[in-house]
Structure 1
């Protein structure tokens, strides 16, 4: 059987740390058992000199494997990923965040799964959340193995940084669309509403970097507005009904406005496994 070619899609902006980017690239290429045929890095607006230098060095190492897409002004993640998807040369695209680290067998396992299950359009995995170093894992973020549309009523059916998807199916539903903080959730909702098939591998294939800011960023009035906007779209798509819409904006937004330390406890103790 001919090897499936695949691209890895990342978006970077000025706040990223160069050492995190270098660690990320080492995990998705140097240390990866099945290496990608293409890596597409979207530069979302101007970066720091240190980041430009790190990217220059990566380009020298990877040559044509690394495709750099530069956007003059910061357009936010949804728009950056939309452009990135369009620039990917291969039908299979793996997502990755520039501060996360892939397990060495991530792509081998996910590509093998897609080969065996051609009906699957989006494939994710569990994630190991860590602080500072991958030896310091603080929680496991799981994902459902069935009933994805029903699961979407409350939470995302896949972990965005872990997914591999089919480009044609993402384009078919309109690609990534910028919606405040929820470009991934909005994409999954549209794909589920259009009959796309989801799956998760029930093991961790990503080390996901967290700190106190991870939970702080998920609170505040902007997140309240973003949650209401997303739930309106899920209602329009038929993912949730009117009762579920009201329940979600009430319960979810309580979490958005409580103090950061309480929100951190909620995420780690209730939404994660130790």
Structure 2
């Protein structure tokens, strides 16, 4: 098998958001050596403008478009793209969502860290969330593997659009699980954490769009139910784990407005 010239492939799922896709591709720095795999999940209302995408993409690499015949959900789009990346022989897979923005040297910085730490299989970073009014807040995820393990018993210790991981690990643990709708990343990253060393960089390397139409908001109860299932799956019978289960159950039961009010009162940004 002929390996690709670039070692990193960026996976971007797309569904009816061609303008967001162009913005994401345009954010990638000119000096980055990365190919992009775009998987369209059966868009019908707003199709991809391939010419606009190629014009926006200025990095040292190419853009490949894969089209699913019908909308099946992000898990299936991700797995289609990830299987393509593994089969093509890329050493690393990275993630970004439509409308999200990569810092100009994001992939070079993550690649340098992974090359310097061959024991780390999954790497994320801090992320700034933004909306039409500008930057809203920054999420600093735990940086060490030990802190990440503790965080995973509470909530996802990685922001999905900011990660890069080794395809050698994918060959061992498989593709994204499809039994945790709207929380496929949390479920998948548990597999990494349970088997490999992981890390997060302190620097903000991705800006992620924050809006009520996103999966985390529009499918909140589905996501919370999946999160609760995952916490139970990895329950370690400690008081801390029991407390986190109780918090997740409360978050599932409460209306979104009430959960947000509690978050403001206790000052915790990670209350979902």
Q: TM-score, normalised by structure 2?
A: 0.83
Change in Cα spacing, 1:250 to 1:83, as seen in structure 2 (3 Å) is same
2:247 is matched with which residue? 251
1:112 is matched with which residue? 112
2: CA distance, partners of 1:262 / 1:213: 19
Which residues of 2 match residues 55-204 of structure 1 at below 5 A? 55-59=50-54, 65-88=62-85, 89=88, 90-132=90-132, 136-146=134-144, 147=146, 148-178=148-178, 179-194=180-195, 196-204=196-204
Q: 1:21 is paired with a residue of what secondary structure?
A: helix
> In 1, are the aligned partners of 2:124 and 2:200 still within 8 Å (CA)?
yes
> In 2, are the aligned partners of 1:144 and 1:157 still within 8 Å (CA)?
yes
Change in Cα spacing, 1:172 to 1:45, as seen in structure 2 (3 Å) is same
Q: What 5-or-longer segments of structure 1 have no aligned partner?
A: none
The reply on whether 1:46 has 2:43 as its aligned counterpart is yes
> In 1, are the aligned partners of 2:75 and 2:177 still within 8 Å (CA)?
yes
Tell me by how many angstroms 1:82 deviates. 1.5
1: CA distance, partners of 2:240 / 2:78: 29
2: CA distance, partners of 1:153 / 1:62: 38
The reply on whether 1:9 has 2:4 as its aligned counterpart is no
1: CA distance, partners of 2:168 / 2:197: 13
Tell me by how many angstroms 1:127 deviates. 0.3
1:45-74 deviations in Å (ceiling 9; x for gaps): 2333x433x234324776981111111122
Q: What 5-or-longer segments of structure 2 have no aligned partner?
A: none
Change in Cα spacing, 1:224 to 1:201, as seen in structure 2 (3 Å) is closer
> In 1, are the aligned partners of 2:192 and 2:198 still within 8 Å (CA)?
no
Change in Cα spacing, 1:267 to 1:40, as seen in structure 2 (3 Å) is farther
2: CA distance, partners of 1:131 / 1:266: 22
The reply on whether 1:33 has 2:31 as its aligned counterpart is yes
Range moving further from structure 2, 163-172 or 54-63: 54-63
Change in Cα spacing, 1:207 to 1:32, as seen in structure 2 (3 Å) is farther
Change in Cα spacing, 1:159 to 1:223, as seen in structure 2 (3 Å) is closer
Q: 2:47 is paired with a residue of what secondary structure?
A: helix
2: CA distance, partners of 1:262 / 1:13: 30
1: CA distance, partners of 2:231 / 2:25: 35
Tell me by how many angstroms 1:104 deviates. 1.0
How many residues align structurally?
Answer: 255
1: CA distance, partners of 2:14 / 2:261: 29
Change in Cα spacing, 1:223 to 1:119, as seen in structure 2 (3 Å) is closer
2: CA distance, partners of 1:5 / 1:65: 12
Tell me by how many angstroms 1:22 deviates. 1.1
